[in-house]
């Protein structure tokens, strides 16, 4: 029989440990690091998350409608089809404002390290600008990046090259479509642009400045092969020089398509839905439809800036309607063939 003091001590220890167990471990409340890797033939692709933010569906989404005179024009979706956005989101168990991803993609060809888009840097606030930490966690350093290909000059794609105006990639050359550069660096366009676009012009100037001054900004003309196996494909509408990048290796292709889609659960079932930021909504819809149809036909991989991270998957056509098929998660990056 144990002495009474020992029994009391054991009871106390048991009580304390029970209380600790009841309190539970503190919750971590942080997401996993934002990178996801896949192989495309010999090319290594790393999706990098810059952050997520609530996408203002009701304020931003518009739809191309045919006017009485036959002309097509973008009209606020909430006005032309009240309840449509809500119904489409509900079909994916979502509601507005839906959390949207900002994705960028790192391409390691074995010869060169190329970053496609750069996130928002300091231009979107605390939600975003996490690309650099995710790049480092993924095993690379900013100084290793040789080239940065921008899909277009909106803040959430260009801001990451120079957060707070300081260049984040000391050895990189910036490539961007000449048409976007001409549009966004023109004071006349800035004066004529709607008010909500003004910060984009300011953000572009601040982000591009250090690279321009260092002679490391190299615009390209359309349809050019920028690197062996990587082609710039014009997909204008969202901005005048909006560009998608097609990467090919070993018979596989991946299209980094930029902002052809902002809210997948709405724009796959209804590609006529546009956004207020579209410079030319009619062309934006035409490009989206064209790329959807082609991608469904060729079964090429897609890497999307604003589809839920990692934004990698395929487009499928079912009875004339388009669907997004996210990539199946895998840890196998070097498949061996028997």
How far, in Å, CA of 29 to CA of 35, rounded? 18
With CB under 5 A as the contact rule, which of the stretches 25-33, 146-154, 181-189, 222-230 interacts with Zn ion? 146-154
Q: In the complex with Zn ion, which residue's Cβ is closer, 249 or 278?
A: 278
CA distances from 276 to 60, 62, 135, 156, 262 (A): 5, 6, 31, 15, 11
Q: In the complex with Zn ion, which residue's Cβ is closer, 204 or 259?
A: 259
If binding is defined by CB under 5 A, does position 154 make contact with Zn ion?
yes
Give backbone dihedrals phi and psi of 192, rounded to 5 degrees, phi first: -85, -15
Compute the residue count for the chain. Answer: 338
With CB under 5 A as the contact rule, which of the stretches 15-23, 133-141, 187-195, 257-265 interacts with Zn ion? 257-265
Which of 315, 324, 156, 146 lies closest to 239 in space, CA to CA?
156
Q: Where are the alpha helices (DSSP H) in the chain?
A: 4-23, 57-60, 77-80, 84-90, 131-137, 155-158, 178-184, 187-192, 198-213, 264-267, 281-298
Closest CB 279 distance from Zn ion, rounded Å = 9
Q: In the complex with Zn ion, which residue's Cβ is closer, 129 or 229?
A: 129
If binding is defined by CB under 5 A, does position 147 make contact with Zn ion?
no
Burial status of residue 95 (CB atoms within 10 A of its CB: 0-12, 13-18, 19 or more): exposed
Q: In the complex with Zn ion, which residue's Cβ is closer, 43 or 61?
A: 61
Which tokens hold the place of 60?
A: 């931003």
75-82 contacts: CB < 8 A, separation 24 or more?
77/273
Closest CB 151 distance from Zn ion, rounded Å = 8
Closest CB 158 distance from Zn ion, rounded Å = 10
Non-local (6+) Cβ contacts of 193 within 8 A are 200, 201
Q: In the complex with Zn ion, which residue's Cβ is closer, 43 or 53?
A: 53
Give backbone dihedrals phi and psi of 26, rounded to 5 degrees, phi first: -60, 140
If binding is defined by CB under 5 A, does position 180 make contact with Zn ion?
no
Which of 50, 156, 204, 278 is close enough to bind Zn ion by CB under 5 A? 156
If binding is defined by CB under 5 A, does position 288 make contact with Zn ion?
no
By CB under 5 A, how many residues form the interface with Zn ion? 3
With CB under 5 A as the contact rule, which of the stretches 33-41, 55-63, 116-124, 259-267 interacts with Zn ion? 259-267
Q: In the complex with Zn ion, which residue's Cβ is closer, 62 or 249?
A: 62
Which of 50, 117, 204, 259 is close enough to bind Zn ion by CB under 5 A? 259
Q: Name the residue with the smallest CB distance to Zn ion.
A: 154
Which of 296, 180, 278 lies closest to 237 in space, CA to CA?
278
Q: In the complex with Zn ion, which residue's Cβ is closer, 203 or 229?
A: 203
Closest CB 113 distance from Zn ion, rounded Å = 23
With CB under 5 A as the contact rule, which of the stretches 53-61, 135-143, 149-157, 216-224 interacts with Zn ion? 149-157
With CB under 5 A as the contact rule, which of the stretches 76-84, 210-218, 226-234, 252-260 interacts with Zn ion? 252-260
Helix then strand count (H, E) for the chain reads 11, 17
Non-local (6+) Cβ contacts of 69 within 8 A are none
Q: In the complex with Zn ion, which residue's Cβ is closer, 134 or 249?
A: 134
Write out the residues near Zn ion by the rule CB under 5 A: 154, 156, 259
């Amino acid at each position: 029989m144990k002495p009474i003091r020992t029994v009391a001590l054991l009871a106390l220890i048991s009580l304390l440990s029970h209380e600790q167990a009841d309190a539970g471990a503190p919750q971590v409340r942080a997401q996993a690091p934002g990178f996801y890797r896949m192989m495309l033939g010999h090319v290594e692709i790393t999706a990098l998350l810059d952050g997520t933010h609530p996408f203002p569906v009701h304020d931003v989404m518009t739809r191309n409608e045919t006017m009485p005179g036959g002309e097509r024009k973008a009209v606020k979706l909430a006005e032309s089809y009240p309840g449509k956005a809500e119904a489409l989101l509900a079909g994916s168990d979502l509601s507005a404002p839906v959390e949207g991803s900002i994705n960028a993609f790192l391409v390691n060809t074995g010869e060169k390290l190329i970053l496609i888009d750069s996130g928002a840097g300091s231009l979107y606030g605390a939600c975003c600008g996490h690309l650099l930490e995710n790049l480092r966690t993924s095993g690379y350093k900013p100084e290793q990046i040789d080239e940065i290909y921008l899909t277009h000059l909106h803040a959430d794609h260009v801001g990451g090259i120079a957060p707070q105006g300081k260049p984040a990639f000391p050895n990189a050359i910036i490539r961007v479509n000449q048409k976007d550069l001409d549009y966004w660096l023109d004071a006349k366009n800035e004066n004529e642009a709607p008010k909500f676009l003004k910060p984009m012009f300011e953000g572009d100037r601040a982000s591009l400045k250090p690279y321009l001054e260092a002679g490391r900004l190299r615009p390209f003309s359309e349809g050019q092969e920028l690197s062996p196996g990587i082609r710039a494909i014009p997909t204008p509408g969202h901005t005048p020089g909006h560009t998608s990048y097609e990467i090919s290796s070993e018979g596989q292709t991946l299209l980094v398509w930029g902002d052809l889609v902002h809210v997948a659960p709405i724009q796959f079932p209804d590609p006529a839905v546009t956004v207020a930021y579209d410079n030319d909504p009619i062309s934006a819809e035409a490009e989206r439809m064209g790329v959807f149809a082609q991608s469904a036909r060729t079964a090429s991989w897609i890497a999307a800036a604003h589809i839920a991270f990692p934004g990698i998957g395929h487009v499928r056509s079912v009875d004339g309607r388009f669907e997004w098929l996210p990539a199946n998660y895998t840890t196998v990056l070097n498949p061996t063939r028997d």
